[in-house]
Amino acid sequence: MEEEGESILLEENYYQLLNVSKTATPEEINSAYRRFSRMFHPDKHSMDPNKQKWAEQIFNKVKEAYEVLSDSHKRAIYDTLGKRGLEVEGWEVIFRTRTPREIREEYERLKREREERRLQQSANPRGTITLSINATDMFMKYYDEYEIMEDTTIIPNIEVSGMTIQQSIDAPVTLRDTMTLSGNISTQNGIGTGSVNISNRHLSSEKGWTECEFGMGNGPLVGFKVFRTLSRLMFLNCGTVFQFTPRGISPSLISTMALQLDAHSVGYLTYRAGGQGGSSMTSIYIRDSEKYHSNTAVQIGNPHSFISFNIMRKLPQHEMKLRLALKLGTFGVIAEYGAEKKVSQNSSVSAAVMLGVPSGVMLKLKWTCSTQSIVIPIHLCEEVLPSPVFYATVVPLVSWLLLKKVVLDPIAKERQERERQRSMEANYERLQEMQRQARATVELMRETYSRIRSEEEKKKGLVIVRAIYGKLPAGLSHHDVSVEQFGDGVSPDSPVPYSEVIDVTIPIQCLVKDSRLELLEASKSELPGFFDPSVGDDKHLTIQYMFRSNLHRCTVSDRQAVVLPRNNHRLKNRS
């Protein structure tokens, strides 16, 4: 689905219009401009008034693209802000090129985004709900020694053993001060606790900040934190808390030093002293790259010492992350594996299986939406047995596949179709104009097409037999190039019927130079002679061509780069 369909559809791409890359040199831009100028110059089509009218429009677009890209200053602005950045006032383009309905929709959209950003910036709510479930009775039934053995129950006993709710909000007071109010309520096996904290963070300079904290819970507490950047690659974070309890004052100290080791690696050294957690020294090494994220930690302290390692494999093309972790310490051994899947722009779901000695088997489910999270740890068994491990692994996977197939996919498809229809309706007149302009461009290209094709045929070079662009037929990997998709002899000014594919043989052949074709890694709908025949759908380009008396064919996705000819495109045993 196209993101922000109408704006993407109506935004011209100067690089695609000239078919040059974003790193193109001035010489390459001049060469492309001269090539299209010869093709679309109005004087070349002066014998036909209708063609001359269209040639003026298309030539002016090419000239505008050239004037921007050949000027280093304008090109820098265009690369940074797009076409709108070239205007004195950003709204001039919108009012000049959009219909009243589009202007109202754009205003409402920007208004909603401003309100959402204002609310997010003013409050920045963050929250987590943790619901602990004890389901050990499913795999290892426990009998009390005084319980009557004959009284068996078919339905296992599943209970909520604990629940924790944490929430916090931020309130900017001044440009340098931010107040944070946080609280949590927790209950475990019928025993509940709660606390509320308020803190103020003051940005003392560009290199650091200080924070004061006050709270109530298991007695009053007072805390103070300091953050300081020591150098370009190092920072220090120190904090101390004094907890006032009926038994007296309980102080605690935590200090962390971080060092940027290289472009992808960071090292942390943390010291904790006092408080309920005891004292410890922890060393952490984190490495983050485009495909992997790894974390190695070593802790020595009281009451626990451990060493842990976890690695995460990122799969951005599938919007998924796979995680594997191992932790060994004085408390035992814990192994964990799981996956996280992004289901929308701001939400994700994850599932992880934890195998531990002596903790047993636990399934941890998590749903995150923006800054709010719901975590459900399910304790399945107190020992590591094959059956709970199997069900903990398979049930979430099968449940996700069913949920995706039955619920998420239909919703996404319906939303995609709704967005597509909305984009089509909002831009109907513009779409019609773009289609007419594309057909007029094809008519203006015919003479150039005949010349280039004749030259390529003489030297047995790159001859485009057929090129089809648009939505692929269901179940097929390429378009049927044997069927007429876009008839000849239709006037550009006549109504254009809706079709999910168009014939782009002429525009593709006109882009061939010295028996070679190069198309950029961008949407093909922005090339001269093209338009978007199926707004909001995934599109592909199928090219069938002759090279050295051999028939070739290739099919690429809309934004995939194309370089022809290629040996792996050759159709075997056909001439």
**Tens-place pLDDT, residues 245-259:** 888 888 999 999 999
User: Which residues are CB-neighbours of 1 under 8 A, at least 6 positions away?
Assistant: 412, 415, 416, 419, 420, 536
Of residues 86 and 279, the one with the higher pLDDT is 279
Position 86 scores a pLDDT of 66
DSSP character for 570? B
**Tens-place pLDDT, residues 345-397:** 788 999 999 999 988 999 999 999 888 999 999 999 988 999 999 999 999 99
Q: DSSP string of 348-379? A: EEEEEEEEEETTEEEEEEEEEETTEEEEEEEE
Tokens coding 526:
């922005």
Check pLDDT > 50 for residue 496: no
**Tens-place pLDDT, residues 409-435:** 888 888 877 877 777 676 677 778 888
**Which among 229, 145, 155, 216 is positioned nearest to 184, based on CA atoms?**
216
CA separation for the pair 503, 484 (Å, rounded): 8
Domain ranges of the chain: 5-97+427-569, 124-142+155-383
pTM of the model: 0.59
CATH topology of domain 124-142+155-383: Porin (2.40.160)
Position 510 scores a pLDDT of 94
Bond before 303 cis per omega within 30 degrees: yes
CA separation for the pair 485, 428 (Å, rounded): 21
Q: Is 230 helix (H, G, I), strand (E, B) or coil?
A: strand
**Which among 157, 163, 162, 159 is positioned nearest to 142, based on CA atoms?**
157
Q: Could you tell me the CATH superfamily of domain 5-97+427-569?
A: DnaJ domain (1.10.287.110)
User: Which residues are CB-neighbours of 376 under 8 A, at least 6 positions away?
Assistant: 130, 131, 132, 133, 364, 365, 366
CA separation for the pair 385, 59 (Å, rounded): 73
Q: Specify whether the CB–CB gap between 458 and 71 falls below 8 A.
A: no
Q: Specify whether the CB–CB gap between 237 and 209 falls below 8 A.
A: no
Across the range 211-234, mean pLDDT stands at 92
Whole-number Cα distances in Å, 180 to 122, 124, 212: 11, 10, 10
Q: Is 245 helix (H, G, I), strand (E, B) or coil?
A: strand
**Tens-place pLDDT, residues 146-189:** 444 455 556 778 888 899 999 998 888 887 888 999 999 998 87
Check pLDDT > 50 for residue 17: yes
Tokens coding 428:
């109907």
Containing 16, the helix (H) or strand (E) segment is: helix 14-18
Position 573 scores a pLDDT of 58
- pLDDT classification of 94: cutoffs 50, 70, 90: very low
- pLDDT classification of 76: cutoffs 50, 70, 90: confident
DSSP-H helix ranges across 41-180: 49-69, 72-81, 90-97, 100-123
Check pLDDT > 90 for residue 278: no
